[in-house]
Homo-oligomer: A and B are copies of this chain.
Amino acid sequence: MAQLFKHLKVHQIFGANTDVGKTILTTGLLRASASRKRRVFYLKPVSTGPLEEADDRFVRRHLKDLAGQLSEACLFRYDQPVSPHLAVQLSKDKGLDYGTPDDAEFVLSVSEHIQRSAHAAVEELSDMYVETAGGVHSPTLSGTSQADAYRPLFLPTILVGDAKLGGISSTISAYESLLIRGFAVDAIVMFRDSYYRNWEYLSEYFADRGVKCFSVDPPPPKDSDIAKDTSALSDYYSEVIAPDSPSNLQALVSELDSRHYDRLTQLESMSTRAMETIWWPFVQHGLVKGPQDVMTVDSAWGDFFSTYESNIGSSGGNAELHHAHDTLLSPQLDGSASWWTQALGHSSPALTLAAASAAGRYGHVMFPQAVHKPALQLAEHLVHDGPGKGWASRAFFSDDGSTGMEIALKMALRAFAKRRNISDPSERKKLGILGLKGSYHGDTIGSMDACEEGVFTCEWHNAKGYWLDPPAVSLRQGTPMLSFPDSMGEYCSSEPTQYESIADLYDISSRLSSSLASQYTKYIEEKLDRIETMGHTRIAALVMEPLVMGVAGMVFVDPLFQRILVDVVRAREPSTISAGDWSGLPVIFDEVFVGMYRLGMESCAPVLGVTPDISVYAKILTGGLIPLAVTLANNSIFQAFLSERKEDALLHGHSYTAHPVGCEVANETFKQIAILAKSPLWQHAKTSWATPSKVGQRESAIWSFWGYDFISQLSTLDVVQDVMAMGTVLAVTIRDDAGGYASFRAQNLLAPLKTLSQDNTGPGGLPARIHFRTLGNVAYFMSNLNTPETVLRSTEKRIWESLSQP
């Protein structure tokens, strides 16, 4: 991951194009740095072309007087003067395969070399320059663009501009390509061509954008006599680093120094400053004791944050692994998928470009009675091919899960009130919902009113409905179990029931004919009868999170119970109108957390074997980039708002409804997930969850990126009460008699995960921390849909070690 050292200032050097003078300017920079009595490091990770012309040889030859100060190196060398990916291919064609590294191995090599340099850098400040090959997007060995391949290292960047005709354009475009990958471009440097004068234009252009552009006299023309050429260049280098030179390479080094120290100062102060001005969501500031309790995120990539390792603090630091010459930034696994939002990893270039292309084409466009391509494409996908397939007719966009649920509730209440002819406002205010105990639908007051009173509710909370306590699924002692709430005592067993396999437990069509199904039916019918006779609230909708209630503490609800709940509700006052119309009560599936493949499936409806009348999606909908939500509804719900009177419409809308940027990012997310769904990663995970049954291996509808064997083993540990995993989610319930929202036992037992460990490393091999969240005594871990096996397995290993060594 990102590399940052106090005593070694590292910059990567990208070129606006090939042949813009990267090596000559880097040589000048090395000399300018060395003139400050610094040790200097030069790294050319990949070199193609004849050995005698290789850039590291050039540097060594021209800086041989700096022998004591200079280290230069090249990691991968090919002798064809072509793009690295082609050089690899040509070598293979010749039968010379050097074992080309993939991107992860490449980053590891570069990272390890930089770390070794950091250990060798003992002076006050040393300077390192990492010179890339060709232009910013020139392919590296694997064929990946360099801008993408170097991204995990997140090195601050010097862009060498192009002084030739057309160079203004290529310099700006290269800059933009770096910017959209999040790189900080610390400076531009380029030759001063007095005919095209690109540097004049670009200095002004970049000054407006807060970046200084440095211009340097071009080198003398190449002399075919090597000795003469070397001598001429030597004079040239002396000139361009002279303090009074118009070429100003010293000024460039000073600028880089100042950017470096600025960054260190910022990083050091950010946590303290955050404590002074930010009011965090869901955080008791009284428990934030000092900057060590604040995570300073410098950047993020893939599954990891890159976080600052404060010098001042006891931020869970691991002294053996962290020395003064170690990087000040450590990878930290984003173990909660950034509050359940991430699906494709942080900083996905595909999502960035989708966002940028919609911003560039539309900005935002007001949505009432309007249509734009990103919103239409998304609505059509959601309704026809996505989670609404087969039942939904309309997509209503909003901003987050909570607003999406408020819209869902407004839809259901109106549809119910209309069909039942409830026109008296005081009767309408008495409408309520039927839900499950522990449900959570978002933080706005209306969505909260669809939940019981609890720790999250505010002064205005008014629980509107009834909530049934459901049976739950988990693994205990390696066995799939179903446990029943006390409230079901007279209907079901008080002891948990064992199942042969998870596949059996989630095989609804078989279980529908079980005796338990009849017991559930009886229980629910009697409950509903009782609610109706109580009469102060009239149930107008069934609202539930299918399969898993997240905020409740990752409760894996018995799918049979949810299925029968829907069946019973729909059968009570069956619709006498067309097929597809809502029946009994409008049924809302809150799939904000569980949908969009968080649990390995786009929607949970197929597992339950019933479709809802209304459903809500958010979080992964944008792949984890920006807020966007959608409420889907079937036609009978939509019809309830249809008339010739404006007042009858669903008068709800947020300013940024269906913002093109969000919709386009969502479209790209669906595209990327479709590719992943066919990947070996997914196939392998599914296979690991296939059940060894009497008739051989059987694929389960339920599977997870977390290994079945791992969770099964975990469930046998003393400190563990329950374990369950589905899709990207792993939930571990720690035995704790206290329990509840304020429980700290899970946090304490798993605290070792927060320390640096060589057992799980970020890209580039740096020891990583694991950032995880708990819900009371439940610790959960959430991967992306493309988290590499190595990350999954090493995280499992660390969880195992924490919990098996009490």
- Which 5 A-B pairs have CB atoms at the shortest separation, nearest pair first? A281-B653, A135-B169, A445-B446, A182-B361, A18-B166
Q: Does A110 contact B (CB under 8 A)?
A: no
| 1/0 contact string of A433-444 vs chain B (CB within 8 Å) | 000000000111
Residues of B within 8 A of A336 (CB): 366
Q: How far is the CB of A419 from chain B (nearest CB, A)?
A: 13
Q: Does A153 contact B (CB under 8 A)?
A: no
* Residue in A136, A172, A179, A627 with the greatest tally of chain B CB atoms within 10 Å: A627
Q: Does A657 contact B (CB under 8 A)?
A: yes
Whether A624 lies near B165 (C-beta < 8 A) is no
A81 to B624, CA, bound (A): 48
| 1/0 contact string of A150-177 vs chain B (CB within 8 Å) | 0000000000000001101111111011
Whether B180 lies near A281 (C-beta < 8 A) is no
Whether A464 lies near B455 (C-beta < 8 A) is no
Whether B283 lies near A458 (C-beta < 8 A) is no
Select A395's contact among B138, B277, B372, beta carbons within 8 Å. B277
Select A169's contact among B136, B626, B655, beta carbons within 8 Å. B136
A394 to B446, CA, bound (A): 25
Query: Could you show 14 A-B contacts with beta carbons less than 8 Å apart?
Result: A138-B166, A145-B169, A274-B379, A277-B394, A280-B653, A281-B657, A294-B371, A296-B370, A298-B373, A352-B359, A364-B626, A403-B443, A425-B453, A626-B659
A358 to B181, CA, bound (A): 8
Whether A365 lies near B183 (C-beta < 8 A) is no
Q: Does A19 contact B (CB under 8 A)?
A: yes
Residues of B within 8 A of A627 (CB): 399, 626-627, 654-656, 659, 662
| 1/0 contact string of A329-360 vs chain B (CB within 8 Å) | 00000101011111001111101110111111
* Residue in A17, A288, A455, A658 with the greatest tally of chain B CB atoms within 10 Å: A17
Q: Does A722 contact B (CB under 8 A)?
A: no
Whether B295 lies near A402 (C-beta < 8 A) is no
Q: Does A578 contact B (CB under 8 A)?
A: no
A645 to B626, CA, bound (A): 31
A348 to B348, CA, bound (A): 22
Whether B165 lies near A444 (C-beta < 8 A) is no
A405 to B, closest residue via Cβ: B444
Select A283's contact among B368, B379, B741, beta carbons within 8 Å. B368
Contacts A362-B299, A656-B400 given; does A294 touch B347 at CB 8 Å:
no
Whether B624 lies near A364 (C-beta < 8 A) is yes
Whether B368 lies near A647 (C-beta < 8 A) is no
Whether B340 lies near A362 (C-beta < 8 A) is no
Residues of B within 8 A of A445 (CB): 406, 409, 444-446, 449
| 1/0 contact string of A781-798 vs chain B (CB within 8 Å) | 000000000000000000
| B-facing residues in A400-423 (Cβ within 8 Å) | 400-403, 406, 409-410, 413-414, 417
Contacts A625-B364, A645-B284, A652-B443 given; does A371 touch B274 at CB 8 Å:
yes
A751 to B409, CA, bound (A): 36
A367 to B279, CA, bound (A): 10
Select A201's contact among B143, B345, B643, beta carbons within 8 Å. B143
Whether A395 lies near B278 (C-beta < 8 A) is yes
Q: How far is the CB of A439 from chain B (nearest CB, A)?
A: 16
Q: How far is the CB of A211 from chain B (nearest CB, A)?
A: 12
Whether B375 lies near A363 (C-beta < 8 A) is no
A338 to B518, CA, bound (A): 55
Query: How many copies of this chain does one complex carry?
Result: 2
Residues of B within 8 A of A597 (CB): none
Whether B403 lies near A403 (C-beta < 8 A) is yes
A270 to B377, CA, bound (A): 10
Contacts A177-B173, A270-B376, A445-B444 given; does A661 touch B278 at CB 8 Å:
no
Whether A645 lies near B742 (C-beta < 8 A) is yes
Select A356's contact among B180, B196, B340, B652, beta carbons within 8 Å. B180
| 1/0 contact string of A764-796 vs chain B (CB within 8 Å) | 000000000000000000000000000000000
Contacts A143-B201, A400-B399 given; does A383 touch B651 at CB 8 Å:
no
| B-facing residues in A237-272 (Cβ within 8 Å) | 266, 270-271
Contacts A180-B356, A651-B282 given; does A348 touch B371 at CB 8 Å:
no
Q: Does A47 contact B (CB under 8 A)?
A: no
Contacts A363-B348, A646-B287, A649-B285 given; does A370 touch B443 at CB 8 Å:
no
Q: How far is the CB of A577 from chain B (nearest CB, A)?
A: 19
Residues of B within 8 A of A449 (CB): 445, 460
A455 to B352, CA, bound (A): 40
Whether B168 lies near A139 (C-beta < 8 A) is yes
Residues of B within 8 A of A295 (CB): 369-371
Residues of B within 8 A of A370 (CB): 280, 294-297
Q: Does A431 contact B (CB under 8 A)?
A: yes
* Residue in A165, A293, A644 with the greatest tally of chain B CB atoms within 10 Å: A165
Residues of B within 8 A of A363 (CB): 300, 338, 342, 345-348, 351, 624-625
Whether A297 lies near B362 (C-beta < 8 A) is yes
A412 to B, closest residue via Cβ: B459
* Residue in A396, A406, A462 with the greatest tally of chain B CB atoms within 10 Å: A406
A201 to B84, CA, bound (A): 12
Q: Does A618 contact B (CB under 8 A)?
A: yes
A464 to B365, CA, bound (A): 34
Whether B443 lies near A459 (C-beta < 8 A) is no
Whether A365 lies near B300 (C-beta < 8 A) is yes
Task: Give me 14 other A-B pairs in contact (C-beta within 8 A), A136-B173, A295-B369 excluded.
Answer: A137-B173, A138-B166, A180-B353, A274-B371, A281-B652, A282-B649, A284-B643, A296-B370, A346-B365, A364-B624, A410-B458, A443-B654, A445-B449, A627-B656
A624 to B363, CA, bound (A): 7
A271 to B, closest residue via Cβ: B371
Whether B270 lies near A373 (C-beta < 8 A) is yes
A340 to B, closest residue via Cβ: B655
A346 to B288, CA, bound (A): 41
A388 to B, closest residue via Cβ: B277
Q: Does A38 contact B (CB under 8 A)?
A: no
Q: Does A650 contact B (CB under 8 A)?
A: yes
Whether A135 lies near B173 (C-beta < 8 A) is yes
Q: How far is the CB of A75 from chain B (nearest CB, A)?
A: 20
Select A341's contact among B17, B182, B656, beta carbons within 8 Å. B656
Residues of B within 8 A of A305 (CB): 365
A468 to B458, CA, bound (A): 26
A654 to B, closest residue via Cβ: B400
Whether A339 lies near B641 (C-beta < 8 A) is no
Select A369's contact among B280, B347, B657, beta carbons within 8 Å. B280
Q: Does A619 contact B (CB under 8 A)?
A: yes
A410 to B355, CA, bound (A): 33
Residues of B within 8 A of A369 (CB): 280, 283, 288, 293-295
Select A17's contact among B166, B342, B380, B656, beta carbons within 8 Å. B166
Whether B371 lies near A347 (C-beta < 8 A) is no
A348 to B, closest residue via Cβ: B363
Select A365's contact among B176, B297, B393, B618, beta carbons within 8 Å. B297
| B-facing residues in A29-50 (Cβ within 8 Å) | none
Residues of B within 8 A of A340 (CB): 655
Residues of B within 8 A of A173 (CB): 135-137, 170, 173-174, 176-177
A180 to B362, CA, bound (A): 11
A173 to B360, CA, bound (A): 16
Q: Does A286 contact B (CB under 8 A)?
A: yes
Whether A282 lies near B653 (C-beta < 8 A) is yes
